[in-house]
A and B are shown apart, each in its own frame.
Chain A
Amino acid sequence: MSRLDVDRVRKDFPVLEREVHGKPLAYLDNAATSQKPRAVIDALIHYYSSYNANIHRGVHSLSEEATVAYEAARDKVRDFIRAPSSEEIVFTRGTTEAINLVAQSYLRPRIREGDEILISQMEHHSNIVPWQLVREQTGAVLKVAPINERGEIELEQFSKLLGPRTRFVALAHVSNALGTINMVQEMVRLARMRGVPVLLDGAQAVPHLPVDVQELGCDFYAFSGHKMYAPTGIGALYGRRELLEEMEPYQGGGEMILSVTFEKTTYNRVPYKFEAGTPNIAGAIGLGTAIDYLLGLDLQAVRAHEDELLEYATKEVSKIPSVRLIGTAASKTGVLSFLLGEIHAHDVGTVLDQEGIAVRTGHHCAQPVMDRFGVTATARASFAVYNTTEEVDRLVEGLHRTLEIFS
């Protein structure tokens, strides 16, 4: 494994050259969305300036080129998460849409009053609310696997909640608020042993970890492009073919049909059955380019770099006596959620912003996590390939500065 050349990587991201309030930007809000490399930006420009056309069914050259590029992107996603086939990759707007698709098209027709959906206490709102909708629609029951003081789901607790009426399990692969990497492979195994299908929310995993859906054994895997250096508005759902085949369409429209008469409509095959309407063609191509970019960096080297940043940041930030870390799991991605004394996270964020440092403050779309730790908000620094230990030093300085102001 080669070491990540961060200086070179930084040159790939044009936005990193800008200043905020007269200071160089230190972008530490990557769990919300990552910045985009030049290659991805260029791919969008190239698509729109040389072969923009609607895909599938076109007989002209531009349409052919666009279709090839769009489908090539699907193949890249397949390889990226090691799905058996491209037919099992559905392009969506992102994780949220992918989860809603599964909730409505897979689970809703298959669950009855009193049946149970099992999620965890650390889920993002987008892996809670779609299941609550199904609950409202069907009378199903939502069960929640608790997390411990470090922000980890305990297997024993999880296992106990898998009961005779559990019909579905939906879990974060990696938590956005805490950084916890869940033991999803084992959890999937426990569920599948009882014949319960599992969806994994991979939004925070794909930018940081190699993902192999076959090794994980999950039935569905959802993720967004924008957190892994691709544009917003594009993401993907992996679904096991048998399940996708037997599911009803999610939305109706063009693309998803083979033939339409007023009496009868025949749906297209998977995955097109789930891609109604003109998709985000440029976004998909951009996602394919982002995958090439990420793989070109070497995922092992990326992981090592981000681990180093997390370790360094945890050590340095913890030296500040009034800091309380939220999320101290044994296995984490580069997410550091914390409180600074009694100072509200929002005030911390404002002071850091004046120093050019972008962090997220608030509940991170995971209010149940905040409730679990008895807080309303945290400040969160989250790392990506282009972050440096110097930026961590600036963060620490910024926190000292905040303490000074509020002393």
Chain B
Amino acid sequence: MSELRELYQELILDHTKRPRNFGTLEPATCTAEGYNPLCGDKLTLYLVVEDGRIKDVSFQGKGCAISTASASLMTEAIKGKTSDEVAAIFTRFREAVTSPIDHELDLEQLGKLAALAGVREFPLRVKCAVLAWHTMRAALEGRHEIVRTE
């Protein structure tokens, strides 16, 4: 039960119920769509990139608690960052949600994203947690196919 409590902790539920940066962005410089066939999660990501920096970001879509919270937390984490900085955050985040349970994590460095570290106890839910991130990367790279986590 404690794993469940950690998975669905306050911060996650807060972002699920009141996702930040939710909605469309007009005009966006790049957008991408993500789809997780496993649970039918769909999201569209909007980015405004200026001088290599993410000036603004938003997302829209329907998903489970984990994918919605992850997208919401991601938008907060990447706003104002350069694409290199964003790539570094993604690497750390991915490590946090996929590393073995006995592996020590530097949660401090992850900031609020650390709230999602509990996902690693639930391997089936990792895809939900990384969907927004993969979609963001596709948007930055200007890829237009729908990003799928399967």
Interface residues of A (CB under 8 A from B): 343-347, 350-351, 354, 361-363, 370, 376-377, 405-406
| Residues B4 and A351 in contact, CB atoms below 8 Å apart | yes
CB nearest neighbor in B for A343: B65
In the complex, chain A residues whose CB is within 8 Å of the CB of B125: 346, 350
Binary flags per residue of B1-32, CB closer than 8 Å to A gives 1, else 0: 10111011000010000000000000000000
| Residues A362 and B38 in contact, CB atoms below 8 Å apart | yes
**A166 to B: closest C-beta gap in Å:** 32
In the complex, chain A residues whose CB is within 8 Å of the CB of B4: 350-351, 354, 405
In the complex, chain B residues whose CB is within 8 Å of the CB of A345: 39, 64
Q: Quick one: which of B32-54 are within 8 Å of A by CB? A: 38-42
| Residues B39 and A377 in contact, CB atoms below 8 Å apart | yes
Question: Given A347-B64, A350-B122, A354-B3: A405 and B8 within 8 A (CB)?
Answer: yes
Interface size class of B (residues with CB under 8 A): 20 to 34
Expressed in whole angstroms, the Cα–Cα distance for A370 and B37 within the complex equals 13
Other than the given A363-B40, A405-B5, 6 more pairs (CB < 8 A) read: A346-B41, A346-B64, A347-B64, A350-B125, A405-B4, A406-B13
Interface residues of B (CB under 8 A from A): 1, 3-5, 7-8, 13, 38-42, 62-66, 122, 124-125, 128
Expressed in whole angstroms, the Cα–Cα distance for A346 and B124 within the complex equals 10
In the complex, chain A residues whose CB is within 8 Å of the CB of B128: 346
Q: What would 6 A/B residue contacts be, using CB atoms closer than 8 Å?
A: A345-B39, A346-B41, A346-B128, A362-B40, A376-B41, A406-B8
Question: Which of A343, A351, A363, A405 has the largest count of B CB atoms less than 10 A from its CB?
Answer: A405
CB nearest neighbor in B for A377: B40
Question: Which of B4, B13, B63 has the largest count of A CB atoms less than 10 A from its CB?
Answer: B4
**B148 to A: closest C-beta gap in Å:** 14
**A343 to B: closest C-beta gap in Å:** 7
CB nearest neighbor in A for B9: A405
In the complex, chain B residues whose CB is within 8 Å of the CB of A363: 40
In the complex, chain B residues whose CB is within 8 Å of the CB of A346: 38-39, 41, 64, 66, 125, 128
In the complex, chain A residues whose CB is within 8 Å of the CB of B3: 354
Expressed in whole angstroms, the Cα–Cα distance for A362 and B41 within the complex equals 10
**A337 to B: closest C-beta gap in Å:** 14
Expressed in whole angstroms, the Cα–Cα distance for A211 and B41 within the complex equals 38
**B42 to A: closest C-beta gap in Å:** 7
